[in-house]
């Protein structure tokens, strides 16, 4: 079976095909559904097969039946998505790469409200903090969507949509799951969601989930000398989520208010191959979302979406023992990171004969703060240092106006009713870098009733983070600050050509080609004395050549790829879906792009590859963004039993590591990481109408692999879940 899967997917890779494992919809009654309603693609309800973009839905059944350790594992099985950290020890950061875009180029949302962490260096989201408690389904839209959703939506958008009302009465969903995934490891979680829907349209939802993990040593031990002192530890993880929602909906109006609370505590390590026995990271987020809508008639409606998010990360790296007689390193580092976001958007929907669309305005605000305390003791005395950014009042505000419309050829002539064109534009005004405009053009043509050909051209942008703009760190020999308040947003141009084909009622296929170019790429750089030759930098220990570090708009990223998606009901009992994604990319830098006013004419060295920009530089390949393929088979021998096999193939790719020989201070070098194939087997047995048992063997063949060089991944795991619903 393993060899068959490898051969099958190797051929899929060769033809750069992608298959959509998530469009497959199987309910407990074995009803097979392919085409679903999606909102995120156009901010209005559309069938997935009628949308001229690459979209898919992870439905409620998939979420309830999954035995994945995190939502990152589920998303990582989808078309064009690779989530670094999903296969590692629970609690590790999970970074999203959509279609080869950078880690901060995917927008995460809950009920249309962006979930970000403005206190981080580049505002990249961490998928590990989100859970499915209270979530009805997920919508994933690949490709640039800044016209509809603003900053960071260059690679795509993931929208977590919470549960609304249900059939009148009381409903309950609960489960208990446990498992092991390595020596002396364990995972135990409990989830409970209760709902009550009134006949009037009022509904109340609430839920709680908890996960506790005794984990692996998250880093790889390469020290073979038995005389060398080791104090390696296992890295545990705890996570608690609370959810509550009150709302009302009928045919004319609706409103809701929801609250999500997330608390997680993780043992973390210093870096790749470098264990740390006293390094912890606590994270919490309070997320409020609220909204209302009113339908005046079939042609016009109004919507309001709002949200407030407050998060905090507290990292503590206490002293560690350094030998077997009890000596420790006498250092303590404590950091507290705070961030908050506020979202408010008003949207009007209109629908006329042959034309529909939205017009809206939005306000998005971010704030952040950071406090750090460093303590060190040595025979020479005590050294302490404190930083606090509170006095800087770091914040940014983005105001926007957006419009998106879909025009059917019917308004010109009845013979053109199979032709549609979607047009959209957004004007953004950021109080830091000023105004910019994004837009999209998306024509589509129904060749037949079951075949859609589409083309899309869209622009996007990613605003600099507050840290990149305003970090005040500087070097004593220079007045240049790390933050660069003159940074421009990263700007993208992307297009895709796709074909969606339904074969009968049970098979869906889509094939998509895409290209994305990102300019004004924001890079972290070192600066070196302009009066010293590059070849002699750092050679004289009596001379200080360093002039600090900063962020610059440098370079251009160019990504190209193919996606193929297939989902099918082969027989009444057998279901199949698969996806494959092929991506290639490069980064180019021109010395003429350097902002010499910011660098004061000093030599510029790019930290991400160590290159000095005294000449043009090109880097081929994308770090941590491999070709991927996934296959899912589901077989129902009897109505009560479902058996599934999932195959995940990840191609070889580059990773980064610190290379001390790249310049006087070193920089990041590239190292090749091997491809891998992981096979999971799972089953669900429905004991009664309300009670079911799920089992899963993860990494069936105990494959040894890396997601990040130097960090461990989970081996063969056994998991069991008992579920009860009413």
What is the Cα–Cα distance from 249 to 257, expressed in whole angstroms? 12
DSSP element (H, E) containing 615: none
User: Strand, coil or helix: what is 99?
Assistant: coil
Place of tokens 């023992």: 321
What is the Cα–Cα distance from 448 to 123, expressed in whole angstroms? 43
Q: How many CA atoms lie within 13 A of 514 on its CB side?
A: 33
What is the Cα–Cα distance from 121 to 94, expressed in whole angstroms? 16
Among 368-377, 453-462, 640-649, the minimum mean pLDDT is found in 368-377
Question: Which positions ≥6 away from 531 have C-beta within 8 Å?
Answer: none
Task: Answer for the pair 361, 401: CB distance below 8 angstroms, yes or no.
Answer: yes
Question: Which positions ≥6 away from 7 have C-beta within 8 Å?
Answer: none
pLDDT reported for residue 542? 86
Task: Answer for the pair 496, 143: CB distance below 8 angstroms, yes or no.
Answer: yes
Q: Compare 228 and 477 and report the one with higher pLDDT.
A: 477
What is the Cα–Cα distance from 112 to 55, expressed in whole angstroms? 16
Question: Which positions ≥6 away from 375 have C-beta within 8 Å?
Answer: 331, 332, 333, 382, 383, 384
Q: Mean pLDDT over residues 94-115, rounded?
A: 94
* Contacts by 291-299, CB closer than 8 A, 24 or more apart: 291/111, 291/112, 291/255, 291/256, 292/253, 292/254, 292/255, 292/256, 293/253, 293/254, 293/255, 294/252, 294/253, 295/251, 295/252, 295/253, 298/351, 299/350, 299/351, 299/352
Q: Compare 278 and 400 and report the one with higher pLDDT.
A: 400
- The model's confidence at residue 39, banded by pLDDT at 50, 70 and 90, is confident
**CA dist 395 → 119, 288, 310, 367, 369 (Å):** 10, 20, 14, 4, 9
Q: Mean pLDDT over residues 213-222, rounded?
A: 86
Q: Can you give the length of the chain in residues?
A: 726
Q: Mean pLDDT over residues 251-269, rounded?
A: 94
CA 198 vs. chain centroid, Å, equals 36
> Which tokens belong to 351?
């629908």
How large a percentage of the chain has pLDDT more than 70?
Answer: 93
Considering Cα of 580, then 628, then 137, then 680, what sign does the dihedral take? positive
Question: Which positions ≥6 away from 454 have C-beta within 8 Å?
Answer: 52, 53, 442, 443, 444, 445, 496, 497, 498, 499, 500
Query: Using alpha carbons only, how large is the chain's radius of gyration in Å?
Result: 26
CA 129 vs. chain centroid, Å, equals 11
Closest by Cα among 606, 490, 599 to 547: 599
pLDDT of residue 475 exceeding 80, the answer is: yes
Q: Mean pLDDT over residues 401-424, rounded?
A: 92
Q: Mean pLDDT over residues 152-172, rounded?
A: 94
pLDDT reported for residue 35? 66
Task: Answer for the pair 37, 47: CB distance below 8 angstroms, yes or no.
Answer: yes
What is the Cα–Cα distance from 131 to 73, expressed in whole angstroms? 12
Average pLDDT of the chain to the nearest whole number: 89
DSSP element (H, E) containing 60: helix 60-65
What is the Cα–Cα distance from 556 to 559, expressed in whole angstroms? 10
Q: Mean pLDDT over residues 664-692, rounded?
A: 94
Place of tokens 């000398």: 225
**CA dist 349 → 45, 405, 649 (Å):** 11, 9, 42
What is the signed CA dihedral for 622, 625, 629, 630, rounded to 10 degrees? 180
pLDDT of residue 626 exceeding 90, the answer is: yes
Closest by Cα among 261, 242, 369 to 313: 369
∠ at Cα 612 (606, 614), nearest 5°?
A: 130
Task: Answer for the pair 628, 101: CB distance below 8 angstroms, yes or no.
Answer: no
What is the Cα–Cα distance from 55 to 45, expressed in whole angstroms? 13
- The model's confidence at residue 197, banded by pLDDT at 50, 70 and 90, is very high
Closest by Cα among 520, 518, 500, 519 to 510: 500
What is the Cα–Cα distance from 428 to 463, expressed in whole angstroms? 11
Q: Mean pLDDT over residues 278-284, rounded?
A: 92
pLDDT of residue 382 exceeding 80, the answer is: yes
Residue 680 pairs with which residues in a beta bridge?
A: 646
pLDDT of residue 12 exceeding 70, the answer is: no
pLDDT reported for residue 223? 64
Q: Could you give the domains of the chain?
A: 18-725 (2.40.170.20)
What is the Cα–Cα distance from 66 to 75, expressed in whole angstroms? 12
CB atoms under 10 Å from CB of 172, counted, come to 13
Beta strands in 131-252, from DSSP E residues, in sequence order:
135-142, 156-162, 169-180, 186-197, 202-214, 237-249
CB atoms under 10 Å from CB of 200, counted, come to 9
Q: Mean pLDDT over residues 381-389, rounded?
A: 89
pLDDT reported for residue 322? 67
pLDDT reported for residue 28? 38
User: Strand, coil or helix: what is 467?
Assistant: helix
What is the Cα–Cα distance from 255 to 304, expressed in whole angstroms? 9
What is the Cα–Cα distance from 101 to 68, expressed in whole angstroms? 25
What is the Cα–Cα distance from 404 to 14, expressed in whole angstroms? 38
CB atoms under 10 Å from CB of 352, counted, come to 11
> Which tokens belong to 288?
């409020």
Q: Mean pLDDT over residues 504-509, rounded?
A: 87
SS (H, E, C) 218-246: CECCCCCCCCCCCCCCCCCEEEEEEEEEE
Exposed / middle / buried, residue 199 (Cβ in 10 Å: 0-12, 13-18, 19+): exposed
pLDDT of residue 224 exceeding 70, the answer is: no
pLDDT reported for residue 42? 81
How large a percentage of the chain has pLDDT more than 90?
Answer: 71
pLDDT reported for residue 229? 58
Among 18-22, 67-71, 255-259, the minimum mean pLDDT is found in 18-22
- The model's confidence at residue 645, banded by pLDDT at 50, 70 and 90, is very high
CB atoms under 10 Å from CB of 691, counted, come to 12
pLDDT reported for residue 21? 33
Task: Answer for the pair 69, 88: CB distance below 8 angstroms, yes or no.
Answer: no
Q: How many CA atoms lie within 13 A of 590 on its CB side?
A: 6
What is the Cα–Cα distance from 526 to 538, expressed in whole angstroms? 13
pLDDT reported for residue 268? 87
Exposed / middle / buried, residue 219 (Cβ in 10 Å: 0-12, 13-18, 19+): buried
Strands 156-162 and 106-110: parallel
CB atoms under 10 Å from CB of 287, counted, come to 22
Beta strands in 77-185, from DSSP E residues, in sequence order:
81-84, 95-98, 106-110, 113-114, 135-142, 156-162, 169-180
Condensed to tens digits (0 to 9), the pLDDT of residues 323-359 reads 677 777 889 999 999 999 999 999 999 998 889 999 9
Place of tokens 């390696």: 232
Among 60-69, 222-231, 666-675, the minimum mean pLDDT is found in 222-231
pLDDT reported for residue 228? 62
């Amino acid at each position: 079976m393993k060899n068959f899967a490898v051969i099958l997917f190797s051929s899929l890779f060769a033809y750069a095909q992608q298959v959509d494992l998530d469009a497959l919809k199987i309910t407990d009654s074995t009803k097979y559904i392919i085409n679903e309603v999606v909102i995120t693609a156009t901010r209005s309800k559309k069938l997935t097969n009628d949308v001229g973009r690459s979209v898919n839905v992870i439905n409620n059944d998939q979420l309830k039946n999954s035995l994945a350790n995190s939502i990152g594992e589920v998303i990582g099985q989808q078309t064009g998505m690779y989530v670094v950290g999903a296969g590692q020890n629970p609690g590790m950061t999970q970074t999203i790469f959509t279609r080869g875009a950078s880690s901060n180029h995917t927008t995460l949302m809950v009920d249309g409200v962006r979930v970000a962490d403005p206190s981080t260096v580049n505002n990249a989201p961490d998928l590990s903090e989100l859970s499915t408690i209270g979530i009805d389904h997920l919508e994933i839209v690949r490709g640039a969507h800044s016209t509809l959703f603003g900053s960071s939506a260059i690679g795509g958008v993931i929208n977590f949509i919470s549960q609304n009302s249900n059939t009148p009465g009381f409903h309950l969903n609960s489960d208990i799951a446990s498992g092991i995934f390595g020596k002396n490891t364990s995972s135990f979680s409990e989830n409970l969601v209760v709902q009550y829907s009134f006949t009037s349209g009022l509904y109340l939802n609430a839920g709680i989930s908890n996960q506790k993990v005794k984990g692996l040593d998250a880093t790889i031990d390469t020290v073979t000398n038995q005389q060398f002192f080791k104090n390696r530890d296992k890295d545990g993880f705890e996570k608690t989520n609370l959810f509550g929602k009150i709302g009302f909906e009928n045919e004319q109006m609706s409103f809701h208010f929801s609250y999500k609370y997330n608390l997680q505590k993780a043992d973390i390590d210093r870096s790749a191959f470098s264990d740390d026995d006293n390094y912890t990271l606590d994270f919490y987020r309070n997320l409020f979302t609220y909204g209302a809508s009113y339908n005046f008639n079939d042609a016009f409606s109004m919507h309001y979406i709002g949200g407030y998010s407050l998060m905090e990360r507290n990292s503590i790296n206490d002293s560690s023992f350094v030998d077997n007689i009890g000596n420790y390193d006498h250092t303590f580092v404590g950091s507290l990171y705070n961030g908050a976001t506020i979202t408010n958007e008003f949207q009007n929907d209109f629908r006329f004969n042959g034309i529909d669309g939205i017009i809206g305005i939005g306000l998005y605000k971010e704030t952040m703060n950071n406090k750090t305390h460093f303590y060190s003791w040595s025979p020479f005395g005590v050294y302490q240092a404190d930083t606090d950014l509170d006095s800087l009042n770091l914040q940014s505000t983005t105001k926007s106006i957006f419009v998106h419309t879909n025009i059917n050829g019917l308004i010109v002539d009845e013979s053109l009713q199979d032709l549609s064109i979607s047009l959209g534009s957004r004007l953004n005004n950021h109080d830091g870098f000023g105004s910019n405009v994004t837009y999209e053009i998306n024509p589509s043509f129904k060749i037949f009733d079951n075949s859609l050909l589409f083309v899309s051209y869209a622009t996007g942008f990613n605003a600099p983070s507050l840290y990149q703009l305003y970090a005040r760190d500087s070097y004593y020999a220079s007045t240049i600050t790390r933050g660069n308040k003159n940074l421009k947003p990263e700007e993208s141009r992307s297009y895709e050509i796709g074909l969606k084909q339904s074969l009968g009622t049970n098979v869906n296929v889509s094939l998509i080609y895409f290209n994305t170019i990102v300019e004004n790429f924001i890079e972290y750089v070192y600066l070196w004395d302009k009066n010293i030759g590059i070849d002699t930098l750092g050679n004289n220990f009596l001379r200080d050549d360093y002039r600090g570090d900063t962020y610059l708009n440098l370079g251009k990223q160019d990504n190209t790829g193919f996606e193929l998606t297939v989902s099918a009901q082969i027989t009444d009992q057998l279901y199949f879906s698969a996806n494959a994604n092929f991506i290639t990319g490069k980064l180019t830098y021109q010395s003429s792009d350097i902002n010499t006013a910011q660098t004061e004419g000093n030599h510029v060295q790019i930290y991400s590859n160590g290159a000095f920009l005294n000449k043009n530089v090109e880097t081929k390949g994308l770090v941590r963004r491999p070709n991927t393929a996934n296959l899912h088979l589901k077989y129902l021998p009897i109505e009560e039993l479902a058996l599934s096999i999932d195959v995940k193939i990840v191609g070889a790719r580059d990773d980064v590591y610190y290379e001390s020989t790249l310049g006087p201070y070193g920089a990041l070098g590239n190292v090749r990481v091997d491809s891998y194939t992981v096979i999971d087997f799972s089953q669900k047995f429905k004991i009664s109408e309300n009670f079911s048992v799920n089992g899963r063997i993860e990494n069936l063949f105990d494959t040894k692999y890396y997601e990040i060089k130097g960090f461990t991944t989970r081996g063969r795991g056994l998991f069991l879940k008992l579920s009860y619903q009413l």
